[in-house]
A and B are shown apart, each in its own frame.
Chain A
């Protein structure tokens, strides 16, 4: 079975600075996807970024980028130029490629506070 671990329950960062959220996972699969979701106080789950395991290049979406280390089973999220609107819970998630289920396995989340 796959597991996802987020070791930082809470973090804070000053506005305009850079912060990195950690995520590790355990799987015996070779083909899979990894995701970061953001959940602001509105409770809506918002997809931030996606990484395919077969791609060596790290995914980037504007101010958000990942550091994907497949051998180490590590998938960290870097937020550059942090903004007040980045304040939210962030969840790391794993999806096995193929098969009929295709569900996400989530970590327990990291609560990020961006301070003015």
Chain B
């Protein structure tokens, strides 16, 4: 267990509303990731961070933004949620560069009506 929590665990919202998902880690890992999981697609990278205030886009970043003001927190924001963003969202941390394992949080199920 890499000490990763996500909040909320479940959320239902309406199209057009802003949504923020939070990922919190307790072990000061430098790299953090946001993935989404959809049936038939496995997990796909949305954004990642390689340090405080250092973030970059992943494969499916359109419609999402992220922020990392503290090492332990990585926020994912949907500025104006759409039904296509209904998904399960996972946060992950990456261990040191020599070992390169990623450990995941418990996931957030988001439904956009």
Can you list 18 A-B contacts with CB-CB less than 8 angstroms, sorted by A residue number? Answer: A4-B42, A33-B100, A35-B101, A35-B102, A44-B107, A45-B43, A45-B104, A45-B107, A47-B101, A91-B43, A95-B102, A102-B31, A103-B48, A103-B58, A104-B33, A104-B43, A104-B92, A109-B42
Separation of A97 and B14 alpha carbons in the complex (Å) = 40
Q: How far apart are B17's CB and chain A's nearest CB, in angstroms?
A: 24
* Contacts from A to B (Cβ < 8 Å): 4, 33, 35, 43-45, 47, 50, 91, 95, 97, 100-104, 106-109
The answer to whether A95 touches B100 (Cβ under 8 A) is: yes
The answer to whether B106 touches A44 (Cβ under 8 A) is: yes
* Contacts from B to A (Cβ < 8 Å): 31, 33, 35, 40-45, 48, 50, 56, 58, 88, 90, 92, 94, 97, 100-104, 106-107
Q: How far apart are B37's CB and chain A's nearest CB, in angstroms?
A: 9
Separation of A98 and B39 alpha carbons in the complex (Å) = 30
Q: How far apart are B38's CB and chain A's nearest CB, in angstroms?
A: 10
Given the complex, which residues of A lie within 8 Å of B106, measured CB to CB?
43-44
The answer to whether B48 touches A101 (Cβ under 8 A) is: yes
Q: How far apart are A91's CB and chain B's nearest CB, in angstroms?
A: 6
Separation of A45 and B40 alpha carbons in the complex (Å) = 16
Separation of A33 and B98 alpha carbons in the complex (Å) = 11
Supply 12 further A-B pairs (C-beta < 8 A) apart from A95-B102, A103-B58. A33-B100, A35-B101, A43-B107, A44-B106, A44-B107, A45-B90, A102-B48, A103-B33, A104-B92, A106-B42, A108-B40, A109-B42
